[in-house]
Structures are given as C-alpha cells and as structure tokens.
Chain A
Amino acid sequence: MAESPADPALRVSGLAFAYPDGHQALFGIDLSVDAGERVAVLGPNGAGKTTFLLHLNGILGTAAGSDSVGEVRIGGTLVERRTVADIRRRVGFVFQDPDDQLFMPTVRDDVAFGPANFGLRGDELDARVDEALAAVDMSKFADRAPHHLSFGQRRRVAIATVLATDCDLLVLDEPTSNLDPQSRRELIAIVEALPVTTLVVTHDLPFAMRLCPRSVILDGGRIVADGVTGDLLTDPALLARHRLELPEGFDPERLRSAPRVQAG
C-alpha cells in the first residue's frame, strides 16, 4: 500500500454505527489527525467515545462485520478485513482497565506478547521489550507478576505493551482515571515524552489542556467541536452544552499563556 507522506495519521470519514440490538451509537464522524499531533477526545458519558475508538483498530466496523458505514484510514491504509492484522500493529490501544490488558504471568511476557504476534523473536524481541519498559520507567519490574503491582504501575505497563509494537498511532482510553496525584504526574511525564501520534479520550480536562494542543468534543455520536484546546475550554457555553465541567480552581486562561507541549 503506497502511502504518500502527506497521508494523515488518522482519517475518519462519515463513520456511523449501530449495535446489534438496533441502537445507533455513531451518526457520522469526520476527523483528521496529522502525524505527531496529540488530540484529546472529550465528551459526556454515553457519547459513543469508546465505540468510536473501537473502530480505529477494526474491533468494530466493516472489518468486524458490524453495521457500520464510513471509512477509517490509518496512515492512508483503509481499515478492512484484509488489512486488519497490520492495522492492529500500527494502532496501539490502551484500554481503561489495565487488568484487562495484562493477562500474562509476568510483565515481560505481557510486553512481549504484542511484538511476538507480529513476528519478533529472540534478541530483537528482548531489546524491544526492554526499550518499551524503559520508556514507562518500569524496567525493574520486568519479572514481577501483574497482580503484585500497584494500579498506577499496571497502567504504565499497559502503555508499554502497546509501545512495544512500535505503533504509529497511540490511543488512550481514560489514562488518568483512578490514579492518585503522584501516579498521574508520572503518567503525564511519560506521555509527554512519547514521540508518537496520540489520541486521548479523557474526562481529565487539565490533562487535556496540559498535553493536547487540539481537542474534539464527541456528543450524541457526532463531533460537535474541533479546535484548540484552550479555546474550547474557555467557552463556558460550549462546555455546559455538552455536560463538561472544569474542576474547581482550574483556570485554562492562565495556562493559555504557558508554553505548550507538542509531540514529535
């Protein structure tokens, strides 16, 4: 598949989807994310955010035989049954519950699982695993069992498991939920340092403000706003319309003047 260097990292066109029981969750989503961008996906619960994400690596959608229309292209490649194996290597999905993702007996086994499925073996595999663990600062825990780690540590290992596949697009579903402030700070530092295109679904508006220059708001299965994060978060009417609330004492106006972080 020849892709021109100008292909966006992610392009979603006219995506609509209904569940088998008939309930329609997505009503036509258009989104384009360039390589190196970090984009936050905001929105109230039940807006269809996780359903949308599951289309990005072919778990839902035409590749899976669901009732979907529309296109998802990862780096120019259309997500369909034929390409789904390669897509899964290129899209790293970190689910909300790390326990769902750490299913092997040790941390090392979990991180190795992805790249091993994509053909890596031996020393190359070990090197990739060590690299990924170092990126999340969990190298010392390689031989521990996941149930011996704290929740924050498990979150970090979960990120390592997808980094190890050398993905082009990193998708994080609520990465800071249930984290104590220290773990949250450590996680922000880790994500900040990653050079990969990132899409983050989050309720943590300060996190979005800090890490993602651009945000979209997903509500009622549609994208209802797309722009600079600071602009979105300083529009109280917009926030109210879509049941978004800034935490107490958080003032985005102050942060707009602070230097912004860009990936890549």
Chain B
Amino acid sequence: MHVPDGFLNVSTSIATGVVSIGVVGYALRRVRAEMTEAAAPLAGLTAAFVFAVQMLNFPVGIGTSGHLMGGALAAALVGPWMAVIVVAVVLAVQALLFADGGITALGSNVLLIGIVTVAVGYAVSRLVVAALPRRALSAAPAAAIGALISVPAAALVFVGLYAVGGATELPLDRLAQYMLGWHTLIGVGEAVITGLTVAAVAATRPDLVHLARGARRTLVVTAPDGTTSTVTSSRSEDVRPATPRVGRRTAAIALVVSLALAGIVSGFASANPDGLEYVAESLGFIDEAQDSAVAGGPLSDYGLRGIDNPYLSTGLAGVIGVLVVVGLGILIARLSLRASDPDPDPEVERIDSSV
C-alpha cells in the first residue's frame, strides 16, 4: 500500500509532508511527557517489532499470503501517540534503507499508514472496548474491529488525496469503489491477525496492552470464617480526587445565574422573530414549518400552560427547563462514571497473602 513517487503531485506531497511532520512532532512531545526517557528504547524496539511482523507471511489459502500493516495493532499495544511514531519510523527506515516507498511520498505514506490507520483504529477500538466487559481479553476483539475499519478508512483518505493531487483524471466513484472493496478485504485479514496477536499478548502480559488499561482483575478474598468471595481490583489511578475539578462554589454560582437568566431576564426577551423565522417570513416559506411533536406539551413555546401572566409563565418555564437540563446532565455524568469504574467504592487494594 506504499504510495510511490509521482503518484501525487508535488504540492500534495509537500502538504501531506507538512501535516505528517506536525502530527509526529506532537506525538513526540506527548510520548516524551508520558514516558520520559524510557520512550527511546521502548519505541525503537517496538518499531523493530512492527517491521519484523510486517515480514510475516500469513497464509490466506490458494498459495497467496497476506501481510500485516500494523497501525491498529501498534495503537492497541502501545497507545496512539507512540504508535504514530513507531509506524512513521518504520516507514522512514523502509524508504531510506530499503528503497521501499517513495522518498518524496513519505509524507503521504506516513499520513495514510501511520496517522489515519492509527487514529481510526484506536478511536474505534476504544469505543468497542468501552462496551465490552472490563477484562484484559476484551482488548482483542476491540483491536480487531479497529483494525477492520482502519484499513478502508485509509483507503478513503487515499482516494481523497488522489482527488486533490492525482496525476490522471479518474472516475472517482469507480476508484473509491475499487479501493474500498479491495481494502475492506485487506481489513478483514488485518482484523483477524491484529485481534489474535493482541489476545496472545493479553494472555501473558496484559500490562503491556495499552488498550487493556481499563481492565481489572478479579481477586478471591477469603474471610476469616473461611467463606470466599471475588472482588474486582482497583488501582490508585481510579481514586477520584477529593476536590472536583469544578469547585462547588463555581457550580452554585453558575446554577444561580442560569436560573436568574431563565426565570427573570427571559421575560424581557425580544418577541421579534429570530434569524431563521425572519428569513422564512421574507421568503415566504414560513408556512412550510411544522409543529414539533411536543407542540401541545405543558412547556411548549417557552411558556407554562395554565398560567396567564406572561412573565410568570415564561419565567417558570425557564426555571423548570434549567432544572431539567441540570438534572439530566448530572444523571448522565453519574452513569458514565459508574460505567468506567465498576465499584464506586474503591475496594481493598492490597490482599494480605498468608504466606
């Protein structure tokens, strides 16, 4: 899938080069901040691994074999930023040491194979892993699905690049069809290999699978009377800070201001039509407007039905609206917090071993 020199014109090559340099530069800073000095040897060794595993022949039958691209796999194992660097390094070494992939096309190749594959693969994997049980092995199917989507996504971006900077006029929809079809097939292979490899790592060293960071082990606890129970472990990263990020005072002030605006000031709001209504009236399509499904509801049109005083009606509707939104927001936040921490009360962190 390496783009050679001459496929895309000079300006596109330079543009993708600039984008790639920017993203890789940012990734370097993130990785350095996270792992400090250990980043260099770990990234170097991971890059050597990706290069080596790209050499593996995976048989797909009838005498043909497929190869791994590795973007989604790298992201699942070492995280997105390190993965971007690792794949970029592999591509650069391939271009400079092995004449594999055009030197001027390096920017495009890093963008497609390094950045898009990693970004899409990681994003999809994270979404999937959030929906699965919090065990280390869940990272495997999540990584597989991420890999599956990542390859056609990169192919799509390639079609986009070609549309902008390709040399020959091609029917773009035909090109897109062909590229998508072929690369979806490749994506399937990539998914299978990625998933199985992540599973293999998660089985022995789950701590080395970045995607499995949220996983928790279950531990057996024996009570003094001999009964056993299983609990899910927690780690110190799970403990929420004592002070919330938004201080209570700030939240209270925000709530009061919202209520005041909605309850009092709103009564004095202009009755003139808003931008859309005005244009609709002037151009004569205001009559096309249909009532919303809740048009007959108790709070419709920013008023409380049954109360005749317009200020009171609007004001009360406003107050109720603010309270409903705030309440819903708190509910959603609580639910999502619970989803990322199965035990709201941090359980025992050390188990006394009776050795």
Contact = CB atoms under 8 A, between A and B. Distances in A.
State yes or no: do A and B touch (Cβ within 8 Å): yes
Interface size class of A (residues with CB under 8 A): under 10
B93 to A, nearest CB: 13
Nearest to A103: B41
Contacts of B351: 22
A22 B41 contact: no
A144 B49 CA distance: 24
Interface string A102-129: 0100000000000000000000000000
Query: Could you tell me the dominant secondary structure of chain B's interface residues?
Result: loop
A22 B41 CA distance: 28
A24 B355 CA distance: 10
Interface residues of B, number: 4
Contacts of A103: 41
Interface in B14-52: 41
B353 interface: yes
A103 B40 CA distance: 11
Interface string A123-149: 000000000000000000000000000
B273 to A, nearest CB: 66
A241 B41 CA distance: 41
Contacts of A22: 351, 353
Nearest to B45: A103
Interface in B161-186: none
Interface in B336-355: 351, 353, 355
A126 to B, nearest CB: 25
Contacts of B41: 103
A24 B353 CA distance: 11
A22 B351 CA distance: 9
Contacts of B355: 24
A100 to B, nearest CB: 10
B43 to A, nearest CB: 13
A61 B95 CA distance: 44
Interface string A13-51: 000000000101000000000000000000000000000
Interface of B: 41, 351, 353, 355
Interface of A: 22, 24, 103
4 contacts: A22-B351, A22-B353, A24-B355, A103-B41
Q: Which 4 A-B pairs have the closest CB atoms?
A: A22-B353, A103-B41, A24-B355, A22-B351
